[in-house]
Amino acid sequence: MPIPDQILDEIQNKVNIVEVISAYVPLKKAGRNYKGLCPFHHEKTPSFMVSQDKQIYHCFGCGAGGNAFSFLMRQERLEFPEAVRLLAEKAGIRLPSSSYGDKASSSLANKIYEVNELACSFYQANLAGDKDASGYLNSRGIGQEAVKSFRLGIAPKAWDGLLNFLKAKGVSLEIIEKAGLIIPSDRGGHYDRFRERVTFPIFDLRSRILGFGARVMDSSLPKYVNSPETVVYSKGQNLYGFNFSKEDIKKANYAIVVEGYMDFILPFQAGVRNIVATLGTALTGDQARLLKRFAKTCVIVYDPDEAGESASLRNLDIFIKEGLGVYIAALKKGYDPDSFVRNFGVEGFREVIKEAKNLFDYKLELLSQRFNPNDIHGKVEIAQEMLPTIAKIDNAILQSSLIKRLGQALSIDEDSLRVELKKVKTDYSHRPSKAQTPRNEKGKETGKAEKMLLGMMLEDRDFIKRSIDIIKPEEFRDDAMREIIKVLFSYDPEAKMASVASSLLSHFKDNEDVCQIVLEAASLNEAISDSNKVFVDCVETIKKGNIRLQLAALQDAIRKAHASKDDKALKELLSKYNSLVKA
């Protein structure tokens, strides 16, 4: 259920955007506003403005802008509900449970987090007294600092060690089972899911424990046992170690993706910090979207055998579809990141990352080894594997460039490849660019007046009241502007809100075009001296612009009626035309 607008307004009434942004960016007073260096692009001269009156920010250098919610979303790579929750906590406002889902589910989730925390402490305490387990981790190259940081532990050999510990702490059997920590026995009762295994707690981005992975210390199978899906844990939606590496990934603007817990820990403790690990599943769209919040590019580390599997390569199309750049780094045969770092050192690992190839080149090279690119059947096989990847690319220029390169590599006509490309685009949602309607000078003038009028309404709510009486949303020519005006006119004039502009940005948070119009309009009114005169002029310009449009449409209709000799319609149209001319 969406978070109600009145809750968002209440939060913004109690939170000062200047204080929120000052925690990240040094700001200096500049007239009515505050100025600083933009945190979203490199600049030497401050162009980042924060308005305390309007509770918005705007960078005149890169165009970034929004309210306190959108700033936190961009700065901390949060989803909207997460940003709302953080600011609600700061403001001391309790969010309704329905905003985040079923109340019972929320309560159960909290209980599972608590029992997972208890389980983790239990496993950690066991490790401290288990020389064999400590020796095993040491033999794998995991130092004491890493053991402590990642909260590694050991599940005891006993069938009910954790179960008895949690029961003694007063945790109900139902919650322990729903957390996935115990399994029902066929003979009645329950037993621990993890026994005589090293435990790896799996954290979310807020460092809450979602579940566990557990590994044997010998060659017995299965090597790993993992927590099942629970109310809080879904392995396809999370990445191991992300809570530790998110800031480094954000700083580097690319993420190294490996497969297992050990593959993450060894490089990380050696200094490779922009790294995450999958959780034993094929990469998913949810994981790609999670990564996209922090980086634009991913380097996937594979061993040669896995990298050669078509299924593995096809799976990476998910990242392409989400707009991420994808590179492949293949290790020496027989090595994974864990063993590679132990044998060749962290610098050797970094060298492999530097030599990573983009997905297109890597895939084409691999397929050219598997199929004969000089044989017609080989060309067809290669093209059939390459085209679905190209089809996922949402940039027409890049897509065209790759088609050209594929045609050159296979000595195939580009037009033929484009015909085949259309066949694989049936499940691909292409987003056509918005057609730009040509505007004459009068049209541009009307557009400026609309934006100026909006800016005045954002500056002073009295102009909203005055506008409602003399102009309708339908009279605004720009589609996005009409939507903004409809929302503005729906606001209760007596309602308390921190800023009309900030409230609009929250309302239209999923529409970048509309938010950009709001930000531009909000920055127009700083130098207006006679606002009442400007208000009247803007309304008059908008109305005259509408009359010009109606007259042009009537002229066209009159020509058609005259050509078809429809005298009755012609009479009515001429009457309307004359009335408008006199208006």
Q: Using alpha carbons only, what angle is made at residue 419 by residues 414 and 425, rounded to the nearest 5 degrees?
A: 115
Q: Phi/psi of residue 35, each to 5°?
A: -130, 145
Please state which CATH number belongs to domain 103-233: 3.90.980.10
Using an 8 Å Cβ cutoff, are 86 and 70 in contact? no
Residue-averaged pLDDT of the chain:
87
Please state which CATH number belongs to domain 441-582: 1.10.860.10
Strand pairing of 275-277 and 297-302? Answer: unpaired
Please report the pLDDT score of residue 198 as a whole number. Answer: 98
pLDDT digits (tens, 9 = 90+) for 353-366: 999 999 999 999 98
pLDDT digits (tens, 9 = 90+) for 208-223: 999 999 999 999 999 9
pLDDT digits (tens, 9 = 90+) for 291-305: 988 898 999 997 665
Instruction: With H, G, I as helix, E, B as strand and everything else as coil, classify residue 359.
Output: helix
Q: Which residues have C-beta within 8 Å of that of residue 530, sequence separation ≥ 6?
A: none
C-alpha to C-alpha distance for 247 and 294, rounded to whole angstroms: 8
Strand pairing of 325-330 and 297-302? Answer: parallel
Using an 8 Å Cβ cutoff, are 272 and 346 in contact? yes
Please report the pLDDT score of residue 312 as a whole number. Answer: 67
Which uninterrupted H or E stretch holds 34?
strand 33-36
Q: Phi/psi of residue 47, each to 5°?
A: -130, 10
C-alpha to C-alpha distance for 177 and 508, rounded to whole angstroms: 42
What separation in angstroms does the CA of 213 have from each of 111, 216, 223, 575? 20, 10, 10, 80
Using an 8 Å Cβ cutoff, are 506 and 54 in contact? no
The conformational region for residue 34 under phi > 0 = left, psi -120 to 50 = alpha, else beta, is beta
Strand pairing of 254-258 and 297-302? Answer: parallel
Residue with more model confidence, 446 or 374? 374
What separation in angstroms does the CA of 573 have from each of 114, 459, 480, 583? 74, 41, 30, 15
Please report the pLDDT score of residue 127 as a whole number. Answer: 97
Q: Looking at the domain covering 365-423, what would its CATH class be? A: mainly alpha
What confidence tier does 442 reach under pLDDT thresholds 50, 70, 90? low
Using an 8 Å Cβ cutoff, are 66 and 57 in contact? yes
Please report the pLDDT score of residue 443 as a whole number. Answer: 57
Please report the pLDDT score of residue 306 as a whole number. Answer: 56
* Burial tier of 396 (Cβ tally within 10 Å: 0-12, 13-18, 19+): exposed
What confidence tier does 399 reach under pLDDT thresholds 50, 70, 90? very high
Instruction: With H, G, I as helix, E, B as strand and everything else as coil, classify residue 171.
Output: coil
Using an 8 Å Cβ cutoff, are 256 and 353 in contact? yes
**Could you tell me the pTM of the whole model?**
0.64
Question: What value does the CA radius of gyration of the chain take, rounded to a whole number of Å?
Answer: 31
Please report the pLDDT score of residue 432 as a whole number. Answer: 35
Choice among 253-262, 441-450, 536-545, 559-568 with the minimum mean pLDDT: 441-450
DSSP letters for 317-346: HHHHHTT-EEEEEEPPTT--HHHHHHHHHH
426 pLDDT above the threshold of 70? no
CATH 3.30.420.40 fits 5-99, yes or no: no
Largest CA distance in the chain: 102
- Name the token pair of 419: 């015909």
- Name the token pair of 218: 């010998």
Please report the pLDDT score of residue 531 as a whole number. Answer: 83
Strand pairing of 325-330 and 357-358? Answer: antiparallel
Cis peptide before 373 (omega within 30 of 0): no
User: Residue ranges of the domains in the chain?
Assistant: 5-99, 103-233, 237-355, 365-423, 441-582
Using an 8 Å Cβ cutoff, are 338 and 261 in contact? no
- Name the token pair of 193: 């899911």
Crossing angle of helices 479-490 and 441-459, in 10° steps, is 20
Q: Which fold has domain 237-355?
A: Dna Topoisomerase Vi A Subunit; Chain: A, domain 2 (3.40.1360)
